[in-house]
Structure formats: structure tokens, C-alpha cells
Amino acid sequence: MNITTKLSPLALAVCAIIGFSVVAPSFAQEVGSTSMREQRAKRMKELGKEKDDAKAKQEDAQTMWPNATRKSPDAEAKGKNLKALQEMQASYEKQDYASVIARADQVAAASDASAYEKSFAYQLAGASANEMNDDAKAADFFSKAIAADGLDNNNHYTAMYNLAAIQYTLKQNEQALATLDRFLNETKADKPEYQQLRAQLLASTGKGDEAAKTFEAQLAKNPNDKSALLNAVSSYQAAGEDDKATKLLEDGYNRGMLTEEKELRVLYSNYLNAERFKDAEKVITEGAQKGILKQGPDLARAYSLLGQNAYYNGSDMDAIGWYEKAAPMSADGEPYLNVAKILRAQGKTAEAKAAAQKALDKGIKKPQEAKEILAD
């Protein structure tokens, strides 16, 4: 007697973590007679705490990435170039992004344009292209802003991170990873979102094992970070290391972190595929009792697999019990047919016929099998 039920392979999708903030450089912070730096110096002087201007300038420029190895250059625009950049920024603030983009190369190509003026024009154009949802142009302009190397650290590394994220959206994963690694190496930044993006890029470039280890490192720092847990699981699965994926899911389950149906399905599917039927039974039973696993075809397939295992291990009673649990919520009558086959082998003809009829009523792939039982 052939009793089979197949469970489709399951995998957790890597959680979406991509997100970046395109920041247009602001003249209020960099040039003009009422810059933030000058206002700050004035306030500090009034309080009797005036600092050396160069030191204050450096501190301001490195606020976002205080451990950056790059020395933040002096940020200054002069003469006609200053006027041109101010006009570009005015256009940006009016959301006239096309005008900003149209003038960027012209301003940057001026024979007397400084590194700062070139970078400023290109970053403003990159921000404008981003607003217009033109990722290719945004990436090109941010690349030019970085190459010109004239912005303070805040804007320089914002442009670099933006470039990495945009390259990712363009599916330029190898380039994005190289850009992000440069960003991390130079800034020494260790925020979780940066590491998450790096792990995502590693996974996207076929380095699933390395990606998983990155997510695991995050999980070690924050054991309750469910996103890191699921991303690590997904990365291990992508790398073909199902045992490691299962171990992480198992630990998460034991700590009450798996609270969604799809998460439990991946865990019990991994158990079933590894023939860890008792573990699978525990997760399925508890999940159903807690209402996490909903009544329906997915749960029916899980019950049917437990029934199949019980049957192969010689426990007809347990097999019938699991198939009968599966039958009412199954998408077809196959569980009823399996019950009918077992009862027929036990010589319980009347009960077997009743189950076979239910199988026919619900629909099965091979109706002839049920009809043979009914013909006995």
C-alpha cells in the first residue's frame, strides 16, 4: 500500500532592510554670512566658551562619523561659483530638480571650480535625480561628488552611503558591496543598519555563509533582534546549510521569538525533512494549540506527513489519527483515502468504505483507488 504526502520546500525570505536618506548639502551649513558654524561660535563666545575656529569646524564636520579616518576638508565656495551654487540650491528647494541636474556638469566644469564646489554641485544633482526616481543618474552624480572629494565628512559619507544603497536598488551588488565596504572602513561606523545592508549584499552576491555570520553577530549583540535571526536563517538556507538554519530557528522558537505561521512552517518543515518527526510534532501541535498555525491546507499537509511517518513506523492507530485531523481541512480527499487504505488492510471494510466515499466526495487524484475499496 502506497501512502504518500509531499511537503513543498519552504524558505524564509530575507527581511527587507534597504533604506537610505538622500541629503542635499545645505548652504546654510556651509557658506554665507550666517552659517550654523558662525552662529554657534557667536553663541559660545557670548557664553564665554569660544573655541578655536579650526577645531570647531573639524568637530562640526565629523559629528555623524566621529571615528572617520578622512580629514574633513575646508568647505568653501567663492565668487561666481558661490552664486551659481546658491541658484542651484534655490532651484532644489523649489523642487525644480531638472534645472539642478541641467546645471551640475556646467558648474563643476568651470575652470576655477574648487573640489568643494564640484562635490556640492554633484551631490545636489544626485539628490535631485533621486527625487525624480532616476537611480542611474543619482548613482552617477553621487559617484562624481565622492570622486571630487571636496565635501565635509558628513556630506561626503552621506553621499557614499547613498551611492551604495542606490547601487543595490540597481542590482549592482558587487559595486554596492565595494562602496559600502569603503564607507565602513573609512568611517569605522558600526550601526546595525549598515551591517544589515552589508549582509544583504553578501547574500545577493552568493556569499550566504558570510552574510549569515554577519547577521549572527548582530544577534549576539541583541538576542531579541528577530530580523537578524530570520535573515541569518534565510542566508544559511541560501548557502545550503540547513542544519545551521534549523538550529537558529530552534533557539528562536525555544525563546518564544517565532510568532508567525510562516516561521513555524519553516521550522517544522526543516524538522520533517531531517526526519526529526518528534520535534516536528511538538512544533505543529503547540502551534495549532496557540492558534499560530491556522486551520487549512498547510496544516493539513503537516498532519498528513506526521500520519505518513506513523504509518511507516508501524503505528496504524497514530497514522489514522493524524490523517483524520488533516482530512477536514485538506484541499482534497487524499487524507480520507489514506485512512480508507489503512482500515481496509485491517479488515474494517465498512469503515474503509465510508472513508473512501468521503475521499471521492472531496476529490482525489486517482478515483479508481477509492472505487476499488467501495467495490469490496
Residue 56: its pLDDT value, please?
46
CA dihedral for 81, 84, 89, 95, sign (positive or negative):
negative
Distance CA 291, CA 314 (A): 30
- The C-alpha cell at 222 is 541583541
**Domain boundaries of the chain, sorted by first residue:** 17-189
Grid coordinates belonging to 198: 552589508
Measured CA distances, 39 to 23, 24, 150, 305 (Å): 22, 21, 23, 71
Structural class in CATH, domain 17-189: mainly alpha
Q: What is the pLDDT of residue 14?
A: 38
- pLDDT for 299 equals 95
Which residues of the chain register pLDDT less than 50?
4-21, 26-62
Name the grid cell of 114: 574648487
Which pLDDT does position 339 carry in this prediction? 97
pTM given for the model: 0.67
- pLDDT, position 111: 83
Q: Give yes or no for a contact between 335 and 358, defined as CB atoms under 8 angstroms apart.
A: no
Give the distance, in angstroms, between the CA of residue 15 and the centroid of all CA atoms in the same chain. Answer: 3
Q: For residue 73, give the DSSP letter.
A: P
Q: Which residues of 86-123 are buried (b: 16+ CB within 10 A; e: fewer)?
A: eebbebbeeeebebbbebbeebbeeeebbebbbbbbbb
Centre a 10 Å sphere on the Cβ of residue 46 and count the other Cβ atoms it contains: 9
